[in-house]
Amino acid sequence: MWLLWCIVGVSSVLLICEAVVEYRQRGKNLSHSFVKQAIDTLPDGICYFAPSGAVKLCNLQMHRLFRSLAQSDMQSFEELQKSLEECDTKSGIIRLSDVRQTYLFPNGKAWRYSQTEITASDGVVYTEVIFSDVTELYEKNLKLKEQTIQLEKISRDLKVLSDNVSTMTKEKELLAAKTGLHDRMSAGIIAMRQILQQEQTTEETADAVSLFQKAVSAIKNDNEYPLERGELAEFMRDADTIGVKVELNGELPQQQEQYRVFLIAMRECLTNSVRHADATILKIDIQEDDNCFSIRITNNGKPPESKVTPKGGLLNLYNHITNLGGTMDIQSNPVFTLTVTVLKSKEGTE
C-alpha cells in the first residue's frame, strides 16, 4: 500500500509540473497576441522596424495610413520614407509643415509624423514610427488664422478711423483759429476806422495796428503753405496762423506710425501752449539713435500753475505712444516740457 501511495504521489507531482509548464508556455504565446490587440485599439498609427528595415510590429491604424500614402501594404522602413517624400505628387496628401512633419490626408484629418530609436533588453535597436492625430490642433490653427485676418482688418479700420479723427481734430482747430482770425480782423478794422475818424495816435492805435498786421500776416501764410506740401507744412502753416513761431531742430521719422505720433504730439503742444500758456514760440527737438526716435517740445509761455496730468488730447497721445511700445514724460517746472520716445519698427531698423 505504501508503495502504491508513493507511485500515485510521484505521478501527481509530475502531472502538476507539466500543467504549470504548459500554462506558462501558453501565457507566453498569449502575451504577444494581447500586445498586438492592444496597439490595434490605439487611435494613433504605430509601427516598429527591425534593424534590417523589415516590419516587426505594426497596428491597424498604421496600415490604413500607409495604404493612403502608397496604395499598397507596407513592407519596409524605406517604403515608408519614400512614400512620405512623394506624398504631394502621388497620393494627394498635403505636407503642411516640413519642420513639424505634419500631413493633411484627403479625409480632412491631420497627422504628425515622428520617429525614434528604441533599444530592446537584448541590445537590438528598433525604429519606432508614430503618426499622431493632430486634427483638432490643425482646425484650431485654421480658426486662429481666420481670427487673425479679421483682427488685422479691424486694426486697419481702426487706423483709418483714428486718422479721420485726427484730421477732424486738425480741421476743428484750424476752423477755431480762422474764426478767431476773423474776429481779430473785424476788431482791427473797426479800431482803424475809429482812429482815422479821430485823427489821433494813442496806445490803442498801436494795439489795433499790431492786431491788423497779425491778421494780414496770417492770410499771407495761408497762401504761402498750400495743402499739397504735406502734414508738416500744414502744421507750420497752422502755427503761423495762430501767431506761434516753430523752432524745429532735427527731422521727423520716415516710418509712418512714428511720424504720425510725433505730429499728434506737436499739434497737441501747439494747441495747449496757446490756450494755457499764451506762448509765441514752440521749440521742438528731434533725435534719433539705433533703436528709437525721441522728441522734446517746450514753449516760451508761462509755466503751469500745477502738475500737468494727462487728460483729453494728452491722454489720447499717451495711448498712441504706448501702442507703439514708447514712453511719454511730462515736466511741469520750471517750464512745460513734453518728451516722447518711440521704438523703431523692425522694417525701418533693417
State the Cα angle at 119 between 116 and 124, rounded to 5°: 120
Instruction: Give 327: exposed, middle or buried? Use CB within 10 Å, 0-12, 13-18, 19+.
Output: middle
Position 332: which residue type? S
| Residues contacting residue 38 through CB under 8 Å, at least 6 positions apart | none
The answer to whether the peptide bond before residue 334 is cis (omega within 30 degrees of 0) is yes
Per-residue pLDDT of the chain (350 residues; tens, 9 = 90+): 777 777 767 776 677 777 666 666 555 554 667 777 888 888 889 898 998 888 888 888 888 888 888 888 888 888 888 888 877 666 678 888 777 788 888 888 898 998 888 888 888 889 999 999 888 888 898 899 888 888 888 888 877 777 677 667 666 666 666 666 665 565 556 556 656 666 555 565 666 566 566 656 655 555 554 444 477 888 888 788 778 899 999 988 888 888 888 988 898 888 888 888 888 899 999 998 888 899 999 999 888 888 887 877 788 888 888 888 889 998 888 888 999 999 887 654 44
| 115, 45 Cβ separation under 8 angstroms | no
Question: How far apart are the C-alpha atoms of 102 and 71, rounded to whole Å?
Answer: 19
What SS3 class is residue 340? Answer: strand
d(Cα 125, Cα 22) in Å, to the nearest integer? 31
pTM over 0.75: no
